[in-house]
Structure 1
Amino acid sequence: MASEKTPVTHDLSKLFEKIKDVRIAMLTTTDEQRQLHSRPMYTIKPEHDGSLLFFTDADSAKVFEVRRDDSVNLSYSNPEDNVYASVTGTASVYHDQAKINELWSEPMRAWFPKGKDDPSIRILKIVIEKAEYWDSPSSVLSQAYAYVRAVVTGEKSKDDDVNQHAQVKAR
């Protein structure tokens, strides 16, 4: 029996399309004890260079963690639409007031009450190295089809008949 292979693409646009409505990602870094440390982050937007941008505070633990070990993971999940993604990349932190001004939106004030001129705002940039996404139709009809097919044929559904699963390699 031939093993099924997950399709691989180098096109990040499909990944960005999948996660565009999932505003919160779980960012995982490695802490001082070399243990995984995760926290929610608000995704600002993907950049044309294949990176994702976030705002963070200059004194946050994640800033220290990514300066010591810049390998990170982002997990995106939208259970209502059955969309999931895992992104592995390299993190950097910097201050660029022009970029902060460009990316600023008023809801960010919840985290930075002083506004876009708050001197503690930093940009956390994650350059994507690889990613994987899963997208299954959420309709009852699609799920019923997969169930009936499995019962009748004794075979599990194939990726292309009820869901999408792909790996994205940015380089």
Structure 2
Amino acid sequence: MSTKNLSNQEAYDKLKELAESIDYAMFETNLGARPSHVIPMSTKQCDQEGSLWFLSNKDSDHNSFIHKDKDVQLLYSKPTAMEYMSIYGQAFIYNDLETIKKLYTTSDDAWFNGPTDPNITAIKVVPQEAHYWDTKDGMITTLFKMGLGALTGNKQDLGESGDLDL
């Protein structure tokens, strides 16, 4: 796997591409505790600044932890495509209806009573550090290349990984 660190627009494009294609992130709060608090959350949007948006219940444990400590970790994983991303950043909770309406879709009806539900909040995660792994060829081709490399002793191009400097 080659290293390709990305910055500026390339970093933003890779972050957006992976966050949207993977969608669900393991959203980790309470980072200083053992165990930390980890839940799956669907990415609602990656905005023009590279911030990631989620919807959440205002009384949830993760909202409570964010109020105490804004540091969060997002872990994206799509093993079938062999795409991964880790983001460390700060989370901010928003209650304004305009933001919530912009992010809300009908699939959120499983959790909330519409975008005007008084218990809904938006969480904005501003990345401070990010790293990605992307094979570009998917799992089957990558496994084939790994096997070929093991048989021939020749190094195979298994994709790229690197830091995202946003």
Global fold match (TM > 0.5): yes
Q: Which runs of 4+ in 1 moved over 4 A?
A: 31-34
Structure 1 pair 143–33 and aligned structure 2 pair: CA distance change class (3 A):
closer
- Give the C-alpha shift of residue 18 in structure 1: 2.1
Aligned residue runs from structure 1 range 151-166, under 5 A: 151-153=151-153, 156-157=155-156, 161-166=157-162
Structure 1 residues not aligned, in runs of 5+: none
Distance 1:12 1:32 in 2: 28
* Aligned residue runs from structure 1 range 5-84, under 5 A: 6-10=3-7, 11-30=11-30, 33=33, 35-84=35-84
> Which protein, 1 or 2, shows the higher relative CO under an 8 Å CA cutoff with sep ≥ 6?
2
Q: Match for residue 135 of structure 1?
A: 134
| Identity rate, percent | 30
Superposition deviation, residue 168 in structure 1: 0.6
Deviation of 1:94 (Å): 1.5
Aligned pairs, how many? Answer: 162
1:38: Cα distance to partner?
0.4
Return the match for 2:163 from 156, 161, 167: 167
After superposition, give the CA deviation of every residue in 1:133-153 in whole Å (9 maximum; x if it has no partner).
Answer: 111222644432332233323
Cα separation, partners in 2 of 1:24 and 1:68, compared to 1, 3 Å: same
The TM-score normalised by the length of structure 1 is 0.85
Change (3 A) 1:58 1:14: same
Distance 1:69 1:102 in 2: 26
1:24 CA displacement:
1.2
Q: Within 5 Å, which residues of 2 pair with 1:75-154? A: 75-112=75-112, 114-136=113-135, 137-138=137-138, 140-153=140-153
Contact 2:82 2:139 in 1 (8 A): no
Q: Distance in 2 between matches of 1:81 and 1:46?
A: 20
CA shift, 1:19, in A, is: 2.6
Greater Cα offset, 38-47 or 138-147: 138-147
State the Cα distance separating 1:31 from its structure 2 match: 6.8
Partner-residue secondary structure (3-state), 1:91: strand
Whether the aligned pair in 1 keeps the contact of 2:80 and 2:139 (CA below 8 Å) is no
**Aligned 8 A contact 2:44 2:103 in 1:** yes
